[in-house]
Structure 1
Amino acid sequence: MHLGFYAPLKAPDHPNPSGDRAMARALIAALEYGGATVTLASTLRSRDGTGDATLQRDLLAQAQAEITRLCGLGRAEGWQAWITYHNYYKAPDLIGPSVARALGIPYLLIEASRARKRLTGPWARFAQAAETASDAADVIFYFTHRDAETLERDRAGTQQLIHLPPFLMRDSVDAAATPDGPMLAVGMLRAGDKLASYQIIADTLAQLPDTGWSLRIAGDGTARAKVEALMAPFGPAVQFLGQLDATALTDVYRTSSLLFWPGVNEAFGLAYLEAQAAGLPVVAQDRPGVRDVLAPGDYPDPDKGAPALAARLQQLLSDPALRHRMGSAAQAHVAAHHLLPAASATLFSGLAKCGVYP
């Protein structure tokens, strides 16, 4: 099976790390795990973050040139389907539908967002392109049940919707860690939703006893000074580790007691999967997206605020046996639902629905 793959928001070989890049890489790995040959069709980044009509016009012109090139490449390589990861109004797939139509092959989308309210305003042209791509898809895979709501509402014709649980780019988990070190938070230090999560963390820490706990923060970004100011009242109990590579972060997971991340407006959060794969219990709020990747458990409602999170942290910090049980259950959950074998099987089931088989 030979497939064309495209990620218009951020290509898997983009130099800057992000969750989007990590998921693009994981999707290719899952397809290759099932035996497919995957060609990264294009690295054209279609993102327009400001609603710039000139930029949109330039990107549409670049996309037309790519369509011509890729039709020839697809015929030469014998692509049997085209798969695009992440199509939405700020970074629509301007290429895949045309190439798939020209080659007469199925067009599949992974993570497509419907935003018809954007069909007027500065992103109107790109929003229409994103809607056109979503309408053209034979299959749309969605990561979270929240995503499925608008996809179901605006489903086109006989289009198939398939739940693809978020997953890690590995086929097994290691031996469970012993969750007995400091608490851990993992998140970029940037304005917006990430900073909102750090505010909740600071509010929660203020309700813990003055001693007996410590927190490490893995991540960096433009809002570091603001996050450091939030954590300043706790002195050396909070340690900043900076941006860590995958190996270093794995070591940190294995020497932590739990992951603490509220998850404000997280799409789903790969850090939750990574921590659980290492055998860590998670303290998070019960939010859409987040609940799609967490093992079954007790996660406070956001409306209950910092007091509920503090109570949950105190319960876990004072009960090592509970941490161990929760960590083991979390690891088993990830092993069953959120690794390459399960993801590969789901992706190939979608290809089969389009008549594409290994």
Structure 2
Amino acid sequence: MRIAFTAPMKPLDDPVPSGDRTMGRLIVKALEAAGHEVETATRFRAWRATGGVDVQKEVERAALAEAEHMAGAWRSRGYRPDLFLTYHLYHKAPDWIGPAIAAEFGIPYVVVEASRAPKRRTGEWAHGFAAADAALARADMVAALHRADRQCLADVVPPHRLAVLAPFIDAAPFLRAERKPRHTGEPLRLLAIGMMREGAKLASYRVLAEALDRLPASLRFTLTIAGDGPGRAEVEALLSRHPVTFTGTLAPEDIPALCAAHDIFVWPAIREAFGLVFLEAQAAGLAIVGGDTFGVPDIVAHGRTGLLSAEGDAAAFAANLAALLSHPERAAAMGAAARDHIGADHDLASGAGRLDALLSRALRNFAGRATASPQ
């Protein structure tokens, strides 16, 4: 199938790394692994940091002009995709292009990773909210990446057009990363990975620091933190009482070996959609101590591959971490289960299969719409 792809939140070649960019690239890779031909239809970015009707209407005008230009260019070279797929749609990044192109060429329209915040129906984001809702109404299939988003989308997307697409990674580099053994008597090796910037990331570091401060002095550990940013001085100060090594920002190819040299991945996950790093750490054989936030419980099996605590609850986070630090054999068993879990349910092949099924449902829904009698 020929698939036209766009990512209004952030183009896939954006120079700033993020989980959003990574997931978008993984979706394209999985579609290609499933045998589809994927073309990036446009790099147009609808996302804006600030709202307001005037700002959003200007983005809409530019988006529709881009759609018109695309349609003309496609016709001039005789190109017609079989389906248009938009990755990551919400009020700050509406999609005007996909619905317009799908209508122009008479093809199915699919949205992967959509979220909806009803409180944005009014206020500075009202125009973008309405545009996102209009795209959802036009879509032949909508996929949320976790159950919490699905619940919000269910108000406007009927069940036959709504699914949860479990997130996935290219697990191969992590599954084949050779585990670095911990010698008897050595403290358990903790790992955290996260940018150091104001907002949810620094909030997670604050909860992590408070949790570590709560641990009994008898529990020994080392902590490695990969990441950097304008908040690094604050993070260093928060954790100054503990044995911490800061690596700075690492290249993606260095992450599998880093994970494989540790025992437990620790991250409070404040406002985390799901966190690809939870998948990566599990694939490398790490037990998880994390926050029970949004989609995290969809990818971390509480009690089997890790222990989750309520978002922001430093005391509960500390108790879970203490439970594993006190019983290294339990942490090792969870790490082994985590590798199996990712290999079976969240690798690239799994993602390709689920995406293929999603597209098949979209084609059926599109055909059903086309043959339905006018209301």
TM-score bracket, normalised by the shorter chain, equals over 0.9
**SS of structure 2 residue aligned to 1:354:** helix
| Residue 238 (structure 1) aligns with | 244
Match for residue 221 of structure 1 among 200, 204, 229? 229
Deviation per residue, 1:185-235 (Å, 9 max, x gap): 11111111111111111111112244732111111122222212211233x
| Residue 206 (structure 2) aligns with | 199
Of 188-197 and 78-87, more deviation after overlay is shown by: 188-197
| Residue 14 (structure 1) aligns with | 14
| Residue 295 (structure 2) aligns with | 289
1:355 is the counterpart of 2:363: yes
1:312 is the counterpart of 2:320: yes
**SS of structure 2 residue aligned to 1:285:** strand
Q: Residues 147, 127 of structure 1: CA spacing in aligned structure 2 closer, same or farther, 3 A cutoff?
A: same
Deviation per residue, 1:228-252 (Å, 9 max, x gap): 2211233xx1121111111222221
Q: Residues 170, 104 of structure 1: CA spacing in aligned structure 2 closer, same or farther, 3 A cutoff?
A: farther
| Residue 155 (structure 2) aligns with | 153
Tell me if the contact between 1:140 and 1:159 (Cα under 8 Å) persists in the aligned partners. Answer: no
| Residue 164 (structure 2) aligns with | 163
| Residue 96 (structure 2) aligns with | 94
| Residue 247 (structure 1) aligns with | 253
Deviation per residue, 1:152-192 (Å, 9 max, x gap): 12215x75112210110346832662563621011111111
**SS of structure 2 residue aligned to 1:85:** strand
Aligned length: 353
**SS of structure 2 residue aligned to 1:301:** strand
Tell me if the contact between 2:268 and 2:312 (Cα under 8 Å) persists in the aligned partners. Answer: no
In structure 2, C-alpha distance between the alignment counterparts of 1:228 and 1:47, rounded to whole Å: 32
| Residue 276 (structure 2) aligns with | 270
1:259 is the counterpart of 2:260: no
1:104 is the counterpart of 2:106: yes
Tell me if the contact between 1:30 and 1:344 (Cα under 8 Å) persists in the aligned partners. Answer: yes
Tell me if the contact between 2:6 and 2:40 (Cα under 8 Å) persists in the aligned partners. Answer: yes
In structure 2, C-alpha distance between the alignment counterparts of 1:304 and 1:35, rounded to whole Å: 42
| Residue 142 (structure 1) aligns with | 144
TM-score by length of 2: 0.88
Taking the TM superposition and a 5 Å limit, the aligned residue runs for 1:26-37 are: 26-37=26-37
**SS of structure 2 residue aligned to 1:35:** coil
Deviation at 1:342, TM superposition (A): 1.2
Taking the TM superposition and a 5 Å limit, the aligned residue runs for 1:71-82 are: 71-75=71-75, 76-82=78-84
In structure 1, C-alpha distance between the alignment counterparts of 2:45 and 2:120, rounded to whole Å: 20
Deviation at 1:302, TM superposition (A): 1.9
In structure 1, C-alpha distance between the alignment counterparts of 2:263 and 2:324, rounded to whole Å: 9
| Residue 47 (structure 1) aligns with | 47
Q: Residues 159, 67 of structure 1: CA spacing in aligned structure 2 closer, same or farther, 3 A cutoff?
A: farther
Counterpart of 1:192, as a letter, is G
Tell me if the contact between 1:33 and 1:344 (Cα under 8 Å) persists in the aligned partners. Answer: yes
Tell me if the contact between 1:179 and 1:279 (Cα under 8 Å) persists in the aligned partners. Answer: no
TM-score by length of 1: 0.92
Counterpart of 2:49, as a letter, is G
Deviation at 1:136, TM superposition (A): 0.8
Counterpart of 1:153, as a letter, is D
Give unmatched runs, 5+ long, in structure 1: none
**SS of structure 2 residue aligned to 1:232:** coil
Counterpart of 1:17, as a letter, is P
Tell me if the contact between 1:179 and 1:324 (Cα under 8 Å) persists in the aligned partners. Answer: no
Taking the TM superposition and a 5 Å limit, the aligned residue runs for 1:179-194 are: 180=182, 182-194=189-201
Counterpart of 2:194, as a letter, is G
Counterpart of 2:282, as a letter, is Q
**SS of structure 2 residue aligned to 1:110:** strand
In structure 2, C-alpha distance between the alignment counterparts of 1:304 and 1:159, rounded to whole Å: 35
**SS of structure 1 residue aligned to 2:307:** coil
Counterpart of 2:190, as a letter, is M
In structure 2, C-alpha distance between the alignment counterparts of 1:300 and 1:26, rounded to whole Å: 26
Tell me if the contact between 2:291 and 2:311 (Cα under 8 Å) persists in the aligned partners. Answer: no
Tell me if the contact between 1:176 and 1:331 (Cα under 8 Å) persists in the aligned partners. Answer: no
Tell me if the contact between 1:177 and 1:280 (Cα under 8 Å) persists in the aligned partners. Answer: no
Tell me if the contact between 2:274 and 2:293 (Cα under 8 Å) persists in the aligned partners. Answer: no
Deviation at 1:301, TM superposition (A): 3.2
In structure 2, C-alpha distance between the alignment counterparts of 1:345 and 1:13, rounded to whole Å: 25
Identity fraction in percent:
40
Deviation at 1:106, TM superposition (A): 0.3
Of 248-257 and 304-313, more deviation after overlay is shown by: 304-313
Q: Residues 208, 352 of structure 1: CA spacing in aligned structure 2 closer, same or farther, 3 A cutoff?
A: same
Tell me if the contact between 2:8 and 2:94 (Cα under 8 Å) persists in the aligned partners. Answer: yes
Runs ≥4 residues deviating over 6 A: none
Match for residue 345 of structure 1 among 353, 360, 365? 353
Computed over aligned residues only, the root mean square deviation of the Cα atoms, in angstroms, reads 2.1
| Residue 56 (structure 2) aligns with | 56
Q: Residues 310, 115 of structure 1: CA spacing in aligned structure 2 closer, same or farther, 3 A cutoff?
A: closer
